[in-house]
Amino acid sequence: MLDKIKSTGVVTMGVRESSIPMSYTTGDSRFDGYHVEICRMILADIKANLGLNTLRINYQPVTSQNRVPLVQNGTVDIECGTTTNNTARAKDVGFANTLYVEEVRIAVKANSGITSIAQLNGKKVATTTGTTSVQLLRKNEKATGVNFDEVFGKDHADSFLLLESGRADAFVMDGSILAGNIANSKNPKDFKIVGEVLATEPIAIMVPKNDPEFKAAVNAAIAKIVANGNMPKLWDKWFLKPIPPKNIVVGLELSPATKNAWANLNDKPAEDYQKK
Amino acid sequence: MSLDLGVFCKNTLDGEAVDYCFSAIFGLAQNSDPSYLDWLLKAWSWTLAVAGLSLVIALVLGALMGTLRTLPSNGGLNSLLVRLSTAWVELFRNIPILVQVFLWYHVIPAFFVPLKALPSYWLVSIALGFFTSARIAEQVRAGIQALPSGQRAAATALGLTTAQSYRFVILPMALRIIIPPLTSECMNLVKNSSVAFAVSVPELTLFAMQAQEETSKGVEIYLAVTLLYALTAFSVNRVMAFIERRSRVPGFIISNDASLAH
């Protein structure tokens, strides 16, 4: 891969269209976000190391369904979206060191008085079809004996609508998605994220498998970014300050798990996070 | 490529193999967690329930609206009913089914609060039933208008009222003529019921999307779901073919019988 980048001067970055604030489009086929900015810094570092004058970045939008195959077949050189690092995917692709740890949380209406999963007994809980949160809810229901009705949204926007319109009392999903949907809603103050963390998952930049040199170069660049003290600034920029294009504030505080990932850089899969 | 059908005997909680594939349904292992096969069959029953319920709604309303559209116009109540049924057909067949499902689920209950208490499969069935009723109404109208005008005249000559001539002469003939297109419509209804997943009815499409994400066995899951959809639609086809054979009016409906060709 490094040879290919050196000879062509072009690299293809896989990005998501609406994973605010990790990786999303700001219109006119431009992409930005927490992971996208980190990837640009990584590629700038690689460009300097290879002694290239110019390095053109092609942006290739990917979806949950095609991101792994596109990295596998070489269409995408580095994927900077919101991909969970797990052992099943690690058979097909490689993962850089984790810089963001996702926490599955509960969003409720601010005036509902619900503060923990135990209070969801007999309530309706929304989640999105085709996500790992559905299985997580089932496991939780079994483990805690809390009984709730599941309602399923077709996508995250639908699930949030279920909460907004009162068809569901809570929406269980990745913290960043909840925060993003709340920030985008008509009255963000009407909603809040409450309760315990239901699961943690490492979200990582995806690179081709069987290319240890490229992966080492990416990880070296990541180590440099962390060592320079850039990570808290990046977090502040994307998660706490107004972001383009609509100047919304995601408002998701830095979690101890993510802080820990920065302090101890590693590429452990999600399975390792569940053991403790 | 090889198929890993073992995925259907896996536990839906932790992905481990279960002792009995049909654990939850036949009560073989009361304490065992449901397998993906149990879930698949449960999802199938939801598909059947939604399709069945909407079929009843669609047939009743479709026959009614189609009949009303053909009422002889006399300027009074009849004209009003004709206009009303025409509006019904044009309204429900001109809006995409997915949009209608969302209208019934999110928008209409916001205005008619009692509808909020109705379970989502009822709302979906109403949406599907109304949508399909508009299409069936047109088939019923076509069937009635395909009858020779003499039939209606003869009924009137016998002294039958409008209602009686529909009841005893026109509808018994018209409803039998339209069975072939009606068969297609009923099969379509089974397939259209897949939109129910969008408003959280746990039917086959929802199962497919969720289970393939959890197991990474998309090929096996989608094959099984495809098979069940095909099987369901084909069963409807066979039942309708049986009804068609048994209700045929000898000499009236053109059949494959060569002696009737002219």
pLDDT band, very low/low/confident/very high, at A101 (cuts 50, 70, 90): very high
Burial of B111 (0-12, 13-18, 19+ CB in 10 A): exposed
pLDDT band, very low/low/confident/very high, at B62 (cuts 50, 70, 90): very high
pLDDT band, very low/low/confident/very high, at B240 (cuts 50, 70, 90): very high
pLDDT band, very low/low/confident/very high, at B234 (cuts 50, 70, 90): very high
pLDDT at B29: 53
pLDDT band, very low/low/confident/very high, at B27 (cuts 50, 70, 90): low
Give the model confidence (pLDDT) of B182-218 as tens digits.
Answer: 999 999 999 999 999 888 899 999 999 888 878 878 8
What token pair was written down for B166?
A: 């529909």
Q: Looking at per-residue confidence, does A91 or B235 come out higher?
A: B235
What b/e string do you get for B146-159 counting C-beta neighbours within 10 Å, with b at 16 or more? ebeeeebeebeeee
CB A250 within 8 A of CB A238: yes
pLDDT at B9: 81
Of A138, A158, A165, Cβ closest to residue B13: A138
**Residue A126 pLDDT exceeds 80:** yes
Q: Chain-wide mean pLDDT for chain A?
A: 90
CA distance readout (Å), A232 to A78, A254, A263, B92, B239: 23, 8, 12, 55, 67
pLDDT at B254: 53
Name the 3-class secondary structure at A243.
strand
Give the model confidence (pLDDT) of B144-163 as tens digits.
Answer: 999 998 999 999 999 999 99
The reply to whether residue B200 touches residue A152, judged by beta carbons under 8 angstroms, is yes
pLDDT at A146: 82
Of B13, B106, B210, Cβ closest to residue A139: B13
CA dihedral A156, A159, A164, A170 (to 10 degrees): -110
pLDDT band, very low/low/confident/very high, at B262 (cuts 50, 70, 90): very low
Sheet-wide strand order for A18-19: A18-19, A23-27, A30-32
- Identify how many contiguous H helices and E strands chain A contains and give both numbers: 11, 12
Interface with A, mutate which of B210, B216, B225 (most A CBs under 10 A): B210
What token pair was written down for A22?
A: 């990790």
What b/e string do you get for A238-275 counting C-beta neighbours within 10 Å, with b at 16 or more? bbeeebeeeebebebeebebbeebbeeeebbbbeebee
Between CA A25 and CA A60 the distance in angstroms is: 11
Show residues of chain A in contact with B213, CB under 8 Å: 130-132
- Beta-carbon pairs below 8 A across chains A and B: 42
Give the model confidence (pLDDT) of A212-223 as tens digits.
Answer: 999 999 999 999
Q: In chain A, pLDDT over 90 holds for what percent of residues?
A: 59
Determine which helix (DSSP H) or strand (DSSP E) holds A19, and give its type and residue range: strand A18-19
* C-alpha atoms less than 13 angstroms from C-alpha of A4 in its C-beta half-sphere: 12
The reply to whether residue A152 touches residue B202, judged by beta carbons under 8 angstroms, is yes
Minimal Cα distance from A124: which residue of B? B200
Q: In chain B, pLDDT over 70 holds for what percent of residues?
A: 90
**Residue A143 pLDDT exceeds 90:** no
pLDDT band, very low/low/confident/very high, at B28 (cuts 50, 70, 90): low
Q: In chain A, pLDDT over 70 holds for what percent of residues?
A: 99
Show residues of chain A in contact with B46, CB under 8 Å: none
**Residue A114 pLDDT exceeds 80:** yes
pLDDT band, very low/low/confident/very high, at B242 (cuts 50, 70, 90): very high
Between CA B165 and CA B169 the distance in angstroms is: 5
The reply to whether residue B197 touches residue A161, judged by beta carbons under 8 angstroms, is no
pTM of the model: 0.80
pLDDT at B261: 44
What integer is the mean pLDDT of B102-106? 92
Show residues of chain A in contact with B203, CB under 8 Å: none
ipTM score of complex: 0.76
**Residue B30 pLDDT exceeds 80:** no
Give the model confidence (pLDDT) of A164-196 as tens digits.
Answer: 988 899 999 989 889 988 988 889 899 999 988
Give the model confidence (pLDDT) of A239-261 as tens digits.
Answer: 999 998 888 888 888 999 999 99
